[in-house]
Amino acid sequence: QVELVESGGGSVQAGGSLRLSCAASVASGDRYSAYCMAWFRQAPGKERERVATIDSVGMTSYTDPVKGRFTVARDNAKNTMYLQMNSLKPEDTAMYYCAADGRPGWVRSTIAPQYWGQGTQVTVSS
């Protein structure tokens, strides 16, 4: 079992920056470092989309609209993942969710992750 808690959301003007954090609690005997971690977002009236992933060896991937602006990172010593968001745009406005999955190959699939956080709201005004 993995419990995920996001923080760092808020309201900013276009062009601004935010850093989201996702703190994980894992079951005794489990290893946070073994999980693939991801950020998803869902805007009002839209489907949830995967924004960025970072796997157990630190390889990252991003959806095209955020490439060059967002950076995902993890600190395995702190069981925490981050999403640095720069040059924010109004279209980045959404609820951002942290997710974790321990299944081999999940990052290359479209399967929903095993664990979700509760989300943190990001609002970008023009």
Residue where the block lists tokens 């640095």: 84
Q: What tens digit of pLDDT does each residue of 28-69 get?
A: 889 999 999 999 999 999 999 999 999 999 999 999 999 999
Q: Which residue, among 9, 2, 20, 31, has the nearest Cα to 73 in the 3D structure?
A: 20
Percent pLDDT > 90 in the chain is 93
Q: What is the pLDDT of residue 13?
A: 98
Tell me the two tokens of residue 52: 């960025």
